[in-house]
Amino acid sequence: MSPKDAFALAVKEVIRRLGRSVLTLLAVALAACLLTALVLISRTAETEVLRQLAKGGPLASIKVAAAAPDPSQLANDNARPGSPRDLGPQAARAIGRLPDVASVVPVITSRMIFVPSAGAPGAGRPEPSYFFDTAVGADLRDPSLLPISVLAGRLPAPGSLTEVAVTPGYLERLRLDPAEPEKVLGAELEMGPPRVFDELEEQTFRALWQRTEIVGVVAQEAAPGGIVTSIEHTRRAQRWSAASDGDTGELELSNSPYTGLVVVADGLDRIGKVRRQITDIGYSTSAPENLIASVQRYLNVVEIVLTAIGSIALVIACLGIANALLAAVRERRREIGVLKAIGARDRDILFVFLIEASLLGALGGVLGSLGGWAAASAVGIVVNSYLTAQGLLGLHLGPSWGVLLLGVLGSTLLASVAGAVPALKAARLPAREAVSES
Amino acid sequence: MAAGATISVKGLAHAFRSGSGSVSALDGVDLEVPAGGYASLMGSSGAGKSTLLAILGGLEPPQRGSVVVGDTDLSRLRGDGLARYRRSTVGFVFQHFGLIGTLSALENVELATILTRLPRPARRARTLALLHAVGLGQRTTHKPGELSGGERQRVAIARALANEPRLILADEPTGNLDEASARGVIELLEQLHAERGCTVLVVTHNRAIAGRASQQIALSRGRILAATCHQSGEGRRSG
For residues B61 and B82, the answer to whether their CB atoms sit within 8 Å is yes
Of B59, B79, B114, the CB nearest to A432: B59
pLDDT above 80 (res B14): yes
Contact B92 A434 (CB under 8 A): yes
User: What average pLDDT does this structure show over A302-308?
Assistant: 84
Q: What is the mean pLDDT of residues B116-143?
A: 86
Q: Are B51 and B14 in contact (CB under 8 A)?
A: yes
Amino acid A249: pLDDT = 66
Domain ranges of chain B: 7-98+165-237
Helix, coil or strand: residue B235: strand
Q: What is the mean pLDDT of residues A43-61?
A: 72
**Confidence at residue A376, expressed as pLDDT on a 0 to 100 scale:** 83
What lies within 8 Å, CB to CB, of A166 at 6+ separation is: A184, A189, A214, A216, A217, A218, A226, A227, A228
Contacts of B120 in chain A (CB under 8 A): none
**Does B80 contact chain A (CB < 8 Å)?**
yes
Distance CA A113, CA A191 (A): 6
According to the model, what pLDDT value does residue A229 have? 94
Q: Taking the CB of residue A298, how many other CB atoms lie within 10 A of it?
A: 11
Q: Are A179 and A251 in contact (CB under 8 A)?
A: no
Strands B167-171 and B90-93: parallel
CB B77 within 8 A of CB B58: yes
Confidence of residue A393 (pLDDT cuts 50, 70, 90): low
What confidence score (pLDDT) does residue A71 get? 66
| A10 chain-B contacts, CB cut-off 8 A | none
ipTM rounded to 2 decimals: 0.86
Q: CA-to-CA distance for B209 and B202, rounded, in angstroms? A: 9
Residue A399 predicted with pLDDT over 70 = no
pLDDT at B239: 35
Q: What is the pLDDT at residue B233?
A: 41
Q: State mean pLDDT over A120-130.
A: 66
* Inter-CA distances, B52 with B8, B42, B100, B198, Å: 12, 11, 25, 19
Report the alpha-carbon distance of residue A222 to residue A59 in Å, rounded: 13
How far is residue B28 from each of residues A386, B25, B66, B222, measured CA to CA in Å? 87, 10, 10, 8
Report residue B65: phi and psi, to 5°.
Answer: 95, 180
Q: What is the C-alpha separation between A222 and A25, in angstroms, rounded? A: 52
Could you tell me the pLDDT band of residue A1, with boundaries at 50, 70 and 90?
confident
Q: Is B38 on the interface with A (CB under 8 A)?
A: no
Share of chain A above pLDDT 70, in %: 89
Q: Which pLDDT band, with edges at 50, 70 and 90, does A367 fall under?
A: very high
CA distance B147 to chain A (A): 18
pLDDT at position B235, please? Answer: 40
Task: Give A9's pLDDT tier (boundaries 50, 70, 90).
Answer: confident
Residue B137 binned pLDDT confidence (cut-offs 50, 70, 90): confident
In this predicted structure, the answer to whether residue B236 has a pLDDT above a threshold of 60 is no
Q: Is the CB of residue B88 less than 8 Å from the CB of residue A345?
A: no
pLDDT at B48 over 80: yes
Per-residue pLDDT band for A79 (boundaries 50, 70, 90) equals: low
Give yes or no for residue A248 having a pLDDT over 60: yes
Q: Which residues of B17-26 are buried (b: 16+ CB within 10 A; e: fewer)?
A: eeeeeeeebb
- What pLDDT shows up at residue B232? 42
CATH code of the domain occupying B7-98+165-237: 3.40.50.300
DSSP per-residue string spanning B133-183: HTT-TT-TT--GGGS-HHHHHHHHHHHHHTT--SEEEEESTTTTS-HHHHH
| More confidently predicted of A433 and A277 | A277
A268 or A27: which carries more pLDDT confidence? A27
CA-nearest residue to B119 within chain A is A2
pLDDT, mean of residues A294-306: 82
pLDDT at position A56: 63
Q: What's the DSSP call for residue B195? A: H
Question: Do the Cβ atoms of B40 and B186 come closer than 8 Å?
Answer: no
A284 phi and psi angles, rounded to 5 deg:
-85, 140
Confidence band of B238 (pLDDT split at 50, 70, 90): very low
DSSP classification of residue A250: G
Question: Coil, strand or helix: which one is B68?
Answer: strand
Cβ atoms of A171 and A181 within 8 Å: the answer is yes
Q: Do A348 and B115 touch (CB under 8 A)?
A: yes
Q: Among A10-19, A244-253, B19-28, whose mean pLDDT is lowest?
A: A244-253
Q: How confident is the model at residue B231 (pLDDT cuts 50, 70, 90)?
A: low
Nearest to A435 among B54, B80, B84 (CB): B54
What pLDDT sits at residue A250? 64
Quote the CA–CA distance of A320 and A92 in Å, as a whole number. 63
Q: What is the pLDDT confidence band of residue A25, given thresholds at 50, 70 and 90?
A: confident
Question: pLDDT tens digit string along B68-100?
Answer: 988 888 888 888 888 889 988 899 888 888 888
Contacts of A69 (CB under 8 A, 6+ apart): A79, A81, A82, A278, A279, A282, A283, A284, A285
Cα–Cα dist B132/B136, whole Å: 5
Q: Quick check: helix, strand or coil at residue B8?
A: strand
Contact A363, A25 (CB under 8 A): yes
Q: Which of A28, A25, A19, A20 is nearest to A324 (CA)?
A: A20
Note the pLDDT of residue B71: 86
pLDDT at res. A109: 92
The span from the first CA to the last CA of chain A, in angstroms, equals 27
- pLDDT-derived band at A154, boundaries 50, 70, 90: very high
Tell which residue, A320, A396, A394, A393, has the closest CA to residue A361.
A320
Question: Quick one: which H or E segment has residue B111?
Answer: helix B105-114
In the predicted structure, residue B20 carries a pLDDT above the cut 80: no
A198 CB neighbour count, 10 Å cutoff: 12
Residue A202 banded pLDDT, cuts 50, 70, 90: confident
The chain-wide mean pLDDT, for chain B, equals 84
For residue A437, the model assigns a pLDDT of 55
Of the residues A435, A436, A438, the best mutation for testing chain B's interface (the one with the most B CB atoms within 10 Å of its CB) is A435
For A335-402, give the DSSP string: HHHHHHHTT--HHHHHHHHHHHHHHHHHHHHHHHHHHHHHHHHHHHHHHHHHHHHTTPPPP-----HH
Which among A255, A220, A234, A246 is positioned nearest to A111, based on CA atoms?
Answer: A234
CA distance to A357, A384, B10, per residue, from A148 (Å)? 50, 19, 93
pLDDT score, position A333: 84
Closest CA to A417 of A357, A359, A352: A357
In the predicted structure, residue B234 carries a pLDDT above the cut 60:
no
Q: How far is A357 from chain B (nearest CA, A)?
A: 18
* Res A218 pLDDT > 80: yes
- Residue A251 above 70 pLDDT? no
Q: Which residues of A touch B171 (CB under 8 A)?
A: 435
Cα–Cα distance for residue pair A134/A132, rounded to 1 Å? 7
CB-facing half-sphere around the CA of A208: CA atoms within 13 A: 18
> Residue B208: which pLDDT band, with cuts at 50, 70 and 90?
confident
Contacts of A435 in chain B (CB under 8 A): 50, 53-54, 59, 94, 171
Positive or negative, the CA dihedral B89, B93, B94, B95 is negative
Q: What is the dihedral of CA A184, A186, A187, A190, to 10 degrees?
A: 120
Burial class (CB in 10 A: 0-12, 13-18, 19+), A324: buried
Rounded to an integer, the average pLDDT of A412-429 is 88
Q: Please determine, for residue A428, whether its predicted confidence score (pLDDT) is greater than 90.
A: no
B100 touches chain A (CB under 8 A): yes
More confident residue, A190 or B175: A190
